[in-house]
Amino acid sequence: MKAFVTGAGGFIGSRLAAALVEKGYDVTGLFMPEEDSTAAEKAGITVCRGDITRPETLTGLFDDTDVLFHLATRTSDWGPASVFENIMVQGTKNILTACRKKAPRFVYFSSIAALGFNRHLDGLSEDAQRNLTGIPYCDTKIKAEDLVREFCEANAMAYTIIRPANVIGPGSVWVKDILDAFARGPVPVVAGGKASGAFVFVDNLVDATLLAAESDAAKNQTYHIRDDYEITWGAYTNFLGSHIDRKTFGSVPFQAAWVLGRFFEMILTPLRIRPPVTRLAAGVLGRNNDVDTQKARQELGWSTRVPLDAALEDIAAWIREVYIPMNFHKTRKMKKFFQKVVYITGGSSGIGLETAKLLVRCGANVILIARNPEKLDAAKKRFELIKIVPDQVIDVISMDVGNAREVAEKMQGAVQSFGAPDILINSAGINKYANHFENITSEMFQEIMTTNVTGVQNVTHALFPAMKEKKGHVVILSSAAALFGMFGYTAYGTSKAALMGFGESLRYELAPLKMPVTVIFPPEVDTPMNLDEAKTLPAEGRAMKSMAGLLQPEYVARVIVKAIEKQKYFVIPGFQTRFLYFFHRLTNGMASRMVSDLVVKWAIKKQKKTRGDRHETF
């Protein structure tokens, strides 16, 4: 059997042509004069050059064809109606005229868009009325369907019309265009993102097409092809965005999107400017388009072969292996962090772990450093599952940052194995001795200083010569406790204040070398270290800490990544803490000390009352 595929270089056409070759068909594909056909030639497809809008280029191409699959079209949600008319109606007429002599089986690819996206399509069968909407893509699909039926009936040609739903798969417009939109800026959903995706996976669509082409029952019939995937547009869009660290923002009501689409199309299309929203996009994203597919299932015996989870995994693999390496420059974060080498101390938990996760999602090569090898291995396994390109490096080093000799040896080996860091994030720290000063021994105090201060000095000093060559970025995680004193923090606060001084002094030294320094001052963060501290922190300290609020490590990680991206030096996460620091500086500390003293007195009074109540109970 000899098959001919127009649009053989397109997303669906290339998959269909390859499947026909696998089934033993002798396949010829139609490509535009300048279109790349390398992959098709390697797959054993005969390549023809032509243009469906120029009938002279089609003469004789189909004289030896048994079945012709017409997929060449204009897949776009905007553009002048004349362009759609020329390609989708006149182009189809040119194809039909060129193959009239041989009269092969004619399979035409239409779309559920022919039903009209100005309404919900759920439950509509192939016999439902088709509505003209004024949307060029939808209306020309109706005209082309009518043309195929009339021409084929007049010339004794058997035809089948395939109406796919929203076709997804590696490289489809419903993958690439959405990712590109995320790269340009915020992406809202339509109607809350609650509309069904109405998707069909490309391989399942090809299955249905082959069944229709080989079935006598499919002659002169129309079929809706849609998988019964239970996924909304909101969930699908956020699934795609998660691979490039993006998520949807806001929602536009359907009617508003439709009216805005009409307005922008009317104003911008004549100027050849892409409208920011179109009626086609509003109809696809904001209406339930779960058309009825019983006819295809009963007459063709078609069913979904590739389930949703497998389809999404294929798409995710394409994003990691193809889209991101080719498009990482499109987003500022990707451009900043893709393939950069990042060392993170304290990377097995808390803020360090969450920061590492964000950087992995941006394509960075991340080296996690911590004491606990079990936690490091668990983090590595977790990040291996979410890395965005196959050759992305995720590795771990178990060491004590307070041990200068161990740090020097292991950092030298790390540079040899992974390269010098473009970014060093000093996140390792402890606070297990938050207590009254009289209860903190010199050994306890020194342990805090060794890990929190000497550890930062050890790692930064060991890596400095290699980082100097790359003009690397040094990040130091201090604390809000460095900005104003805290009850029970004589050891921890001292260590973090020392880091503030260290960071500022280091900044002056590295500025002439064009090596950025960033110091982060987070308040209380919901991390494992916070749980250690709570075992000994006095009630007075707990009351004072509550004034700055509690942040989640994911939020602080986002602040850190943004600070690195913008090369900020002094960064305080959280509005409450920034306000307190401003108030503290404005009053030279007097007002904040007065408030803190009142809070401490209140906490002491509350403790006495609680102890008294307990005594009375006994």
Spot the catalytic one: 348, 496, 581, 596.
496
Average pLDDT for the chain? 92
Q: CA–CA separation, 90 vs 80, rounded Å? A: 15
Q: Which of 1-15, 21-35, 327-341, 376-390 has the lowest mean pLDDT?
A: 327-341
- DSSP string across 232-277: BHHHHHHHHHHTTT-----EE-HHHHHHHHHHHHHHHGGGT---SS
All structural domains of the chain: 2-325 (3.40.50.720), 331-585 (3.40.50.720)
Spot the catalytic one: 229, 433, 492, 581.
492
Tell me whether residue 611 is exposed, middle or buried, using C-beta atoms within 10 angstroms of its C-beta: 0 to 12, 13 to 18, 19 or more: exposed
The whole-number pLDDT of residue 615 equals 46
The pLDDT of 287-293, averaged and rounded, is 97
| pLDDT exceeds cutoff 60 at 618 | no
φ, ψ of residue 288 in degrees (nearest 5): -85, 110
Q: Please answer whether residues 339 and 351 qualify as being in contact, where contact means their C-beta atoms are separated by less than 8 angstroms.
A: no
Report yes or no on whether pTM surpasses 0.75: no
Beta-strand ranges (E) seen in 319-429 are 341-345, 365-370, 394-398, 423-426
Token readout for 58 is 């089609």
Using only the alpha carbons of the chain, give its radius of gyration. 32
Amino acid residing at 134: G
Q: Which residues pair with 30 in a beta bridge?
A: 6, 48
- Reported as a pLDDT band with limits 50, 70 and 90, residue 497 is very high
Q: Please answer whether residues 319 and 387 qualify as being in contact, where contact means their C-beta atoms are separated by less than 8 angstroms.
A: no
Q: Is 489 a catalytic residue?
A: no
Contacts with 546 (C-beta within 8 Å, 6 or more apart), sequence order: none
Q: CA–CA separation, 198 vs 300, rounded Å? A: 20
Q: CA–CA separation, 553 vs 551, rounded Å? A: 7
Q: Is 478 a catalytic residue?
A: yes
The whole-number pLDDT of residue 210 equals 98
Q: CA–CA separation, 63 vs 47, rounded Å? A: 15
Token readout for 263 is 């307005």
The pLDDT of 89-95, averaged and rounded, is 97
Q: Is 492 a catalytic residue?
A: yes
Token readout for 403 is 């041990």
Contacts with 592 (C-beta within 8 Å, 6 or more apart), sequence order: 484, 580, 583, 584
The whole-number pLDDT of residue 617 equals 46
pLDDT tens digits for 63-78? 999 999 999 999 899 9
